[in-house]
Amino acid sequence: MPRPTKAVAIAPSTFERLRAAHPDAHCELVHQNPFQLIVATVLSAQATDVIVNKVTPDLFHAYPDPAALGSADPAVVEQIIGRLGMFRQKTKNIVGLAKKLVAEHGGEVPRSLAELVKLPGVGRKTANVVLGVAFQSPEGVVVDTHVQRITQRLGWTKATTPEKIEPELMTIFPRRDWDMLSHVLIFHGRRVCYARKPSCATCTVTDVCPSAFKAELVGRKPGRADSDSAGERRVRKGRGVAKDERAKASRARAKTSQGSKVTSKVARAAKSKQSGPSRAR
């Protein structure tokens, strides 16, 4: 087995320093019980916790338990969560999830990874959020985009996918740290180690971070998108579409012009043919 790097060897102490820097780190999805947590986590796919927290109060007021949500009219649920991306698929997932909780688990959220991942819309990451936050018994480490980025920047892993990063973190850190590890790293990613412009100047672990003051080059996909805003990309895409449309229009005009020339030549030839015999007579 290869000898761990210095960054990996000191990872537990680095984590304790980050934990001290973010003593309020916690799951930011607002919930009152395991049922609300699993629903909110399913809704958070490709959405921020902030926007999810804006729709769940109305959702849970209308459907406070699995039985109520399982019998809900999907069209009404869609109206409630409509501001979320993929709201139709998410409606299908949470209604189906609620039905399965009632039918197979007595209306209770199961406490094992194997059972949780059988529910609609629930993958390994969502399951471990529920197990860690609701039951304090995670079976793995939640690796979202923040955790993925920061563990790469800190030199804890060279892997580039959650599936490969998670087992490495489970080896480095004891089980008792698995849940809080993701919360602390997510807090750090949202408040200090940003994707585009990490605030290394205010980071408390720059002295042990191999990516310090060059972190924007680590943990992100390379390419022009790194320096472009979403708005700039939309403008560029729009220009490309406009260019294509202009090219199509130009080809159409050329084809029309060519057709007109051929038609004109045919007309002149026909006129000449008709006038010839007339003069002979």
Q: What gap in Å lies between CA 227 and CA 50, rounded to an integer?
A: 25
Confirm whether 144 is a catalytic residue: yes
Catalytic-role residue among 49, 65, 92, 144: 144
* Phi (first) and psi of residue 203, to 5 degrees: -75, 140
Residue 195, SS3 per DSSP:
coil
Of 218, 226, 136, the C-alpha closest to 177 is 136
> Which amino acid makes up residue 51?
I
Q: How many CA atoms lie within 13 A of 228 on its CB side?
A: 13
The angle at the Cα of 214, spanning 208 to 215, to the nearest 5 degrees, equals 70
**Number of residues written out for the chain:** 281
Residue 243 in tokens: 């260019």
Instruction: Give the residue carrying structure tokens 């007595």.
Output: 106
| 99 part of the active site | no
Which among 48, 127, 63 is positioned nearest to 95, based on CA atoms?
Answer: 63
Q: From the candidates 99, 125, 177, 179, which is the catalytic residue?
A: 125
Long-range Cβ pairs for the range 207-216 (8 Å, 24+): 208/7, 208/10, 208/14, 208/154, 209/153, 209/154, 209/155, 210/7, 210/153, 210/154, 210/155, 211/152, 211/153, 211/154, 211/155, 215/153
Cα 5 from Cα 11, distance rounded (Å): 10
Cα distance between residue 194 and residue 225, in whole Å:
15
Indicate which residues carry an active-site annotation: 125, 144
